[in-house]
């Protein structure tokens, strides 16, 4: 398998884990936001530094996943 494909699969795995972690935190009533460097509309918010900083300031746990080359 091409290394680029394998790396992309790994990054998608981090997004899946982030989705699970975010859902678990929210289910427990813990405010959290999930951002990804890889845009996947409808599943996870695209990374935006100002939104992430605001979320932290507002007391949210912020989850980062994916990595854009």
Contact at 8 Å (CB) between 6 and 15? no
Q: Going residue by residue through the chain, which has 69 residues, state the pLDDT in tens, using 9 for 90 and above.
A: 999 999 999 999 999 999 999 999 999 999 999 999 998 999 999 999 999 999 999 999 999 999 866
pTM above 0.75, yes or no: yes
Task: Tell me the C-alpha distance between 16 and 64, whole Å.
Answer: 11
Check residue 46 and give its pLDDT.
Answer: 95
Largest CA distance in the chain: 43
Check residue 69 and give its pLDDT.
Answer: 63
> What's phi and psi for 23, nearest 5 deg?
-60, -40
């Amino acid at each position: 398998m091409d290394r680029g494909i394998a790396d992309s699969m790994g990054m998608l795995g981090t997004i899946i884990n982030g989705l699970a972690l975010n859902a678990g935190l929210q289910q427990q009533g813990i405010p959290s936001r999930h951002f990804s460097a890889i845009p996947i509309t409808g599943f996870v918010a695209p990374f935006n530094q100002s939104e992430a900083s605001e979320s932290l300031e507002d007391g949210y746990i912020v989850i980062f996943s994916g990595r854009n080359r």
